[in-house]
Amino acid sequence: MAVYQHTIEVATDGRGTFELSDKIRKAVSQSGIETGVCQVFVHHTSASLLLTENADPDVRRDLEAFMARTVPDGDPLFHHTLEGPDDMSAHIRSVLTQSGLSVPVGDGRCLLGTWQGIYLWEHRTSGHTRRVTVTVTGE
């Protein structure tokens, strides 16, 4: 058994999705681990991880539209508005998705399905530098 850990930084330019799949595949490859689990974690509470269809960009457009309707910025329900109308909505979007997700590793590869992509989802309207840690355990 072995463990490999690598932290990456992702510069976002505001709300939207940023694909991480290749960076994660590379970390798995560099780990030298044949069978195990790859865990991905974002160290923030207003950005999250998204695993969804990677072929048609409209999927992510529709997800964004769904979130905009379900968790509206500037909702009068919110008290936590210190950083603006997208502050609390960003936290809720993060809670409804994932701060961490795991993907199996087999044959030395990250076993994402054919149509699965992993994205960093920036929920703030302005850009941020987001830290993501990839940890691979196995043998």
Taking the complex as a whole, the smallest distance from the CB of residue 107 to a copy of itself amounts, in Å, to 10
Cβ neighbours of 139 (radius 10 Å):
10
* Among the listed residues 121, 125, 126, 128, the one whose alpha carbon sits nearest the alpha carbon of residue 49: 121
Q: Which two tokens stand for residue 64?
A: 């964004």
Q: Out of 16, 18, 21, 78, which residue is the one contacting a copy of itself (CB under 8 A)? A: 78
> Does residue 88 sit in helix, strand or coil?
helix
Residue 71 is a binding residue for a copy of itself (CB under 8 A): yes
Q: Beta partners for 102? A: 39
* Among the listed residues 130, 138, 114, 123, the one whose alpha carbon sits nearest the alpha carbon of residue 27: 138
* Choices 1-9, 10-18, 19-27; region in contact with a copy of itself by CB under 8 A: 1-9
Interface with a copy of itself in residues 91-110 (CB under 8 A): 91-92, 94-106
Residue 53 is a binding residue for a copy of itself (CB under 8 A): yes
> Which residue's CB is nearer to a copy of itself, number 26 or number 78?
78
> Does residue 67 sit in helix, strand or coil?
helix
**Is residue 38 within 8 Å of 106, Cβ to Cβ?**
no
Taking the complex as a whole, the smallest distance from the CB of residue 13 to a copy of itself amounts, in Å, to 21
Please work out the total of residues on this chain that contact a copy of itself, with binding judged by CB under 8 A. 60
Q: Out of 14, 30, 61, 126, which residue is the one contacting a copy of itself (CB under 8 A)? A: 61
Taking the complex as a whole, the smallest distance from the CB of residue 20 to a copy of itself amounts, in Å, to 14
Q: Could you give the residue ranges of the DSSP H alpha helices within the chain? A: 21-31, 57-70, 87-96
CA dist., res. 123 & res. 120, Å (int) = 9
Residues lying near a copy of itself in the complex (CB under 8 A): 1-3, 5, 35-37, 39, 41, 43-46, 50-53, 56, 58-59, 61-63, 65-66, 69-71, 77-80, 82, 88, 91-92, 94-106, 111-113, 115-116, 131, 133, 135, 137-139
